[in-house]
Amino acid sequence: MTEKKPHSIEYLGEARNFWWNDDYLELLAKRLALAEKSVLADVGCGYGMMGFLLSKFMKGNAAIHGFDLEKEHIAKARRLAVADHSEKKFSFEVADAYALPLEDNFSDITVCQTLLIHLKDPQRAIREMIRVTKPGGLIVAFEPNNMASVLYIDQFSGLDLSVEEMLEETEMTLRHEKGKMALGEGFNSLGDVVPELFLKSGLKEIAVWLSDKGLPVIPPYGDSAEMSARVAQMKTFMSEELGGYNYDENLKYHLAGGGSKERFDNYWKRHMVKTQQLAERLNNGSYTCAGGGIFYIVVGKK
């Protein structure tokens, strides 16, 4: 039996450390009044990225509590906490988002980043986040709409795709998304629905902002650590069939989303040719894209 990989492991690479613009985080910290907050809970924390980033703006001795189902992620978050020399108190525990090991009314602010998109029952997780948050405290969800990017022209720049090919890309993305949902693995574009889920959960003063981060790829790629990490991630994804480049995974979601194997196989052949072209352009330093995305920050008050 092959050992199951920890959830989302391929996505938690170095490129993720550059997901937020520093000056935007400062703005966010003001909007969330982080300087007044002493206790933060980060649900589905992975390596603890969001807790580490937000902690910098919190009270000097603030406590950050991260929770994730995967013990490997928690072990890495603990190692990173040892390397953090601030006065902040970090604790990381293996726990399910549906049953957090915290008393009621515990945190000043409870956050999650790209967690709800992976859950079968995001509403239940939101209710749990609310339970552990103090009355008047904030619940913040950082979640994307991944379907939006399928029509970004830059994703295909230089390939000169026809309307038919763009429509095919769109259909494939929709079937993938619907398939993932049908298999109970969440909904990659849940970001758009989070305000409604917040409302249904009784949260007040709901606000929605967008991350201002573009994820461009601009030659020469070695110019900054950020660009190098992003290009390295793209190359790894393509060469190791990760991040959407794996046939079996894609076929599984396509079929569950109501597609046929024949149609998928035809598409996949063309997709592989495009992937090859993309890899060549990355290797010869001619690939450029703006790297747009829709990444929501949804906030509600308990």
Ligand X SMILES: C[S@@+](CC[C@H](N)C(=O)[O-])C[C@H]1O[C@@H](n2cnc3c(N)ncnc32)[C@H](O)[C@@H]1O
Residue 108 makes contact with ligand X by CB under 6 A:
no
Residue 233 makes contact with ligand X by CB under 6 A:
no
Number of residues that bind ligand X (CB under 6 A): 22
The reply to whether omega before 144 is within 30° of 0 (cis) is: no
Per DSSP, the three-state class of 300 is strand
Residue 192 makes contact with ligand X by CB under 6 A:
no
Residue 7 makes contact with ligand X by CB under 6 A:
yes
Please report how close the Cβ of residue 47 comes to ligand X at its closest, in angstroms: 6
Binds ligand X by CB under 6 A, chosen from 34, 40, 49, 227: 49
Minimum CB distance to ligand X smaller for 96 or for 168: 96
Per DSSP, the three-state class of 296 is strand
194-230 burial, b at 16+ Cβ within 10 Å, e below that, comes to bbebbeebebeeeeebebeeebebeeebeeeeebebb
Residue 76 makes contact with ligand X by CB under 6 A:
no
Minimum CB distance to ligand X smaller for 118 or for 180: 118
Binds ligand X by CB under 6 A, chosen from 70, 108, 128, 143: 70
Confirm if 60 and 34 have CB atoms less than 8 A apart.
Answer: no
DSSP state of 137: E
Minimum CB distance to ligand X smaller for 185 or for 241: 185
Residue 18 makes contact with ligand X by CB under 6 A:
no
Cα–Cα dist 72/227, whole Å? 27
Residue 297 makes contact with ligand X by CB under 6 A:
no
Cα–Cα dist 139/206, whole Å? 9
Which positions lie near ligand X, rule CB under 6 A? Answer: 7-8, 11-12, 16, 44-46, 49-50, 68-70, 73, 96-98, 113-115, 118-119
